[in-house]
Structure formats: structure tokens, C-alpha cells
Amino acid sequence: MNANNVRLIDVTLRDAHQCLWATRMTTGMMKSMAPALDNAGFEAIDLVGGAVFDVCVRYLREDPWERMRILSDWIVKTPLIIHTRGQSLFTFEFFPDDVVALSAERFAANGMRYHTPYDALNDIRNLEIPITEAKRHGLTVVPGIVFTESPVHTDEYYVKKTKEVMARGVEGIFLKDPSGLLRPERARTLVQSMKAVMGDMPLQLHSHCLSGLAPYTALCAVEAGVEVLHSATSPLANGASHPSTQVLVNNLRRMGHNIDIDLNNINEVSEIIKFIAAKEDKPLGKIAEYNEFHFHHQVAGGMISNLEYQLSTVGLADRLDDILQEAGNVRADLGYPIVVSPFAQYIITQSVLNVVAMDNGKERFSNVPNEVRLYVRGGYGEIAGEIDPNLYDRITKGVEPITQRPGELVPPALEKTRNRLGASARDDDVLLAVFYDNKEYDALKAAGPIDTEYPIMETPLKTLIKGITSNHDVTSFHFIDRNNSLEISK
């Protein structure tokens, strides 16, 4: 073993609560954590992306652009990460090039310094504009290549994709393992293969704990050459989230690696998270048990829970395993799309339709959603595997495949939106109006500025007093210690 310097990227403020708290960590909750995370020694801190932007708008009614500005004032030493789905940004649909370009400008203007775009099909054409525009505005750009298991996603496949990304002139690459499928033995061969062509360019690993393997796989990946790991503060680690920062640091140090992380700061954040979880009745991460079936269907645990509920409402609760079995079969039929949004949703929808069709004596794929038709034609990008020609014709009804870069097919949107909002509209608002309909946009604007206050103070006593004094039903209270009894009136 060769000891080396290992760096960490923190995902507590984005992916961790996205996985375990349904993305419901507010900006106010982050305030007391920010200084400790900033001083902990991370390479970068993941803040906005994935579902976070969307949940901020639709459910928290917090302007995500404002969240970026606020956190960039609180966290000044460590670069903040904006994480996007490439040409799709924060949604499942493709946006025109002018929208993607302006978004990169606004990321930088609102304090983001590090961009990690990825494409769900690993079609690097869908990263062309996000990478070029982020670099233009001075962001560090580290694109993701998404990992999955299939007969076509070989080490050679990933080497090819690595070379395509490197050709874009980026600062690094992260290997994104959204379903926790990377096994220790595969990590060794895959990392060595990618590093053989990357040379000194840093390779990062972003792996979820859905199979329970990620904490050990991360150690194996470091031994094979990974320089940067993504991790979560321990109460928000494991389960569908990421390996624990504390456990990774201790294990790596015991293995002889150098890792410049201050665990005192991380432990401080842990206590804050536990306080918030108890107050808000939020779950803490639990270690996931290994399940071989997971590697067949590859569907994330949170999505399975939602599916189970939805099936119960239509009398199909007892068919969950049949549908997950069919999901693996559908994926193979469709050329092995990676089971990450939006294709996870498309695969599950098609699997339910197939199971219901077979129950009624019909053929599989007798009912196909438009999104699946578009995918099969190449409307989302290149397909890794082969689709049987007869199945292709049945699904597409003989329509010719799409070979252009998908973003080229989407007409520009900024001018039309600016005309609708008026000449005085800010760029941030123009983009929000592109992303959302009038109802969501107006509701967000009506909510006003983000409330950055949350009842956490420097000490438990101050937190208690703040909580009591903010309760209008309490007119006075007693504070008693060993030597004194004091009545305080509000």
C-alpha cells in the first residue's frame, strides 16, 4: 500500500438530506453548521443541485439563488458546489442552450465556485454547453460519469467516456454511483483503468450506501488511485446517503493515508444535525443490509417506498417483487439505461404497464409512455446497449432515430421569457420563469426573503431560552441551577 493524500467533499448540505430528509433541510437549519463545515478542511461543499433547487421552489418557498448567496456569505474558505443534470439542469427535461449558458453565468454570480454536471446516459454531448459555459465564468469544473452494472458498462466503456470528458478540458472527474452498485473488486479494476488514462488529473468517488458496500468500496477505491471521496456527516450518512465522514477519516488514517480534516468541527455539526432531527422528527441514517436483488433492478430505496405506496392505492401491493423483477428485464430490453432520474421513473412505469398487460393476456410493451418512445429514438442521448430492431419498431412505430445533440432540438427561450416579464426582470427571475409555471413562480415571489433563523444557539441553554421566549403561550419561566432559582418574565 502506498500512503497518499486523500481529500473529501462534503455532501451534508445537499445530497445527504436529499436522500434521508426528502430534501427538506432549510437554509436556516444550515446557518449554525456552516462555520464548522467551512473550517473542517473539505476540498468543496456540495450545496445546490439535483432535487434541491426544485424543492426550494415548490415546497420550501426559498429562492435557490438567494440560498446560494446566503451560504456563500457564511462559507468563505471552501468552494461551494453547484450540481446539475447537464443540459437538463435541475429537471428531467432538456433546456435550450441559451438557458444553460445563462444558468452558468448566474451560478458564478451567486457565489458558486465549483460545478459538477453529469448526464444520466453518459452522453458527453449533453455536457458540452454546461462545461464550456462554466469554464467561461471561472468555475472549477469536475463532470461526473455515472456508474452502473450491465454487460455493456465495462471498464473499457468507462475508459472511453473518461477520454471524452478529458477532451473538454476539465479539472477532474467524479465517478457517480447513485445506486451503490460499485463493488470493491470492480472498484479496483475500474479505478486503475480510468487513472491509467487520467494521469495526474484527480478522480473522485461519489457513491451511495444503498447496498451497504460504499464505505468499504471507498477505501478500496483510494487504494486503487482515487484522490477525492464524497462523504456525509455521520447522522446523515449511510442508508440511501453516503459514507460517514468520521468513519472514512478514521479508517483512512488507520490505513496510513493523510487526510487533513478536523473531526472536532464535524462532530459539532453532528450534534446540530441530531438536534434538528429530534426537533423536526427527521430520520437519521442507518446502515443498509446487503441485498443481491438490488443489483438486478438497481432501483433506489426511496423510490421503492414510494412505489409500494402507489401500488397499494391501485390494488397491486402484492406485485412489488414482480414489478422490480420486470424492471431489470425492461432495462435490458431498452439497452441498459442507467437507473437514475429520469430513467428510473421511466423504467418503473414501463414495468408496471408490462406486468398489468401480462396479467390481462397482452404482450409486454403493448402500452408505452411517450417518454420511453423518445428515449428509444435517442431523444435523450446515445444508448449504451442494443435494442432489438423489432422492439424498436413496435415502440417507435417505425419513426427514424434521433442522432442530433438533444439540446440542439430545443428552441431558445430567454427572449420570449424576458418579453413576458418585462425589461426590468433580473436574470435570476428570468431563469426561474423558464423553469416553472406562473403558479410556482408567483408563490415563490410571494413568500419573500428566506428566513435564516432557526432555534439553535451557541449552547443548549441559549437554544432552550430562545425556544421558550419565542413561544407566545409562555409568559414566564423559572431557571434553576444548583445554587440559584431565577424567575424570568418575558
Q: Are residues 341 and 276 in the same domain?
A: no
Confidence at 303, pLDDT banded by 50, 70, 90: confident
Q: What integer is the mean pLDDT of 419-436?
A: 96
Q: Are residues 212 and 243 in the same domain?
A: yes
Q: Decide if 31 is inside a domain.
A: yes
Q: What integer is the mean pLDDT of 103-129?
A: 98
Q: What integer is the mean pLDDT of 388-408?
A: 94
Q: Are residues 471 and 368 in the same domain?
A: no
Q: Report CA-CA distances (Å) from 174 to 231, 289, 380.
A: 13, 26, 21
Residue 413 in this model has a pLDDT that exceeds 50 = yes
Residue 349 in this model has a pLDDT that exceeds 70 = yes
Domain's final residue, options 280, 314, 332: 280
Q: Decide if 374 is inside a domain.
A: yes
Domain's final residue, options 280, 315, 343: 280
Residue 392 in this model has a pLDDT that exceeds 70 = yes
Residue 427 CB contacts under 8 Å (≥ 6 apart), including other chains: 102, 105, 106, 109
Interval 183-196: pLDDT, tens: 999 999 999 999 99
Interval 62-96: pLDDT, tens: 999 999 999 999 999 999 999 999 999 998 889 99
Are 85 and 117 within 8 A, CB to CB?
yes
Q: Comparing 38-52, 116-130, 307-321, 391-405, which segment has the lowest mean pLDDT?
A: 307-321
Stronger pLDDT, 103 or 1, i.e. the higher one: 103
User: Which residues share a beta bridge with 146?
Assistant: 176
> Tell me, what's the pLDDT at 459?
46
**Which CATH number characterizes residue 191's domain?**
3.20.20.70
Q: Decide if 419 is inside a domain.
A: no
Q: Are residues 267 and 318 in the same domain?
A: no
Q: Are residues 376 and 484 in the same domain?
A: no
Q: Are residues 86 and 189 in the same domain?
A: yes
Q: Decide if 372 is inside a domain.
A: yes
CA–CA separation, 316 and 319 (whole Å): 5
Locate 153 and state its grid cell: 458498462
Q: Decide if 239 is inside a domain.
A: yes
Q: Are residues 275 and 378 in the same domain?
A: no
Q: Are residues 254 and 378 in the same domain?
A: no
What's the mean pLDDT when you consider all of the chain?
93
SS3 (DSSP) at 233: coil
Domain's final residue, options 280, 313, 345: 280
Q: What integer is the mean pLDDT of 127-151?
A: 98
Q: Are residues 302 and 231 in the same domain?
A: no
Q: Decide if 318 is inside a domain.
A: yes
Interval 429-455: pLDDT, tens: 999 999 999 999 999 999 999 999 998
Confidence at 480, pLDDT banded by 50, 70, 90: low
> Tell me, what's the pLDDT at 1?
43
Domain count, the chain: 3
Q: Which residues constitute the domain of residue 134?
A: 7-280
Q: Are residues 181 and 233 in the same domain?
A: yes
Maximum pairwise Cα distance, the chain: 86
CA 49 to chain centre: 6
Q: Name the CA radius of gyration of the chain, rounded.
A: 24
Confidence at 308, pLDDT banded by 50, 70, 90: confident
Residue 484 CB contacts under 8 Å (≥ 6 apart), including other chains: none
> Tell me, what's the pLDDT at 265?
97
CA–CA separation, 57 and 409 (whole Å): 27
Residue 423 CB contacts under 8 Å (≥ 6 apart), including other chains: none
CA–CA separation, 459 and 464 (whole Å): 9
- Helix pair angle (214-224, 245-254), 10° resolution: 40
CA–CA separation, 391 and 314 (whole Å): 28
Locate 365 and state its grid cell: 410493451
Q: What integer is the mean pLDDT of 403-426?
A: 94
> Global pTM?
0.91
Q: Decide if 49 is inside a domain.
A: yes
- Residue-wise over 54-84: b if at least 16 C-beta within 10 A, else e? bbbbeebbbbbbbbbbbbbebbeebbbbbbb
Are 224 and 194 within 8 A, CB to CB?
no
Q: Decide if 335 is inside a domain.
A: yes
Residue 2 in this model has a pLDDT that exceeds 80 = no
Residue 467 in this model has a pLDDT that exceeds 80 = no
Residue 464 in this model has a pLDDT that exceeds 60 = no
Q: Are residues 82 and 142 in the same domain?
A: yes
**Which CATH number characterizes residue 383's domain?**
1.10.472.90
Q: Are residues 299 and 262 in the same domain?
A: no
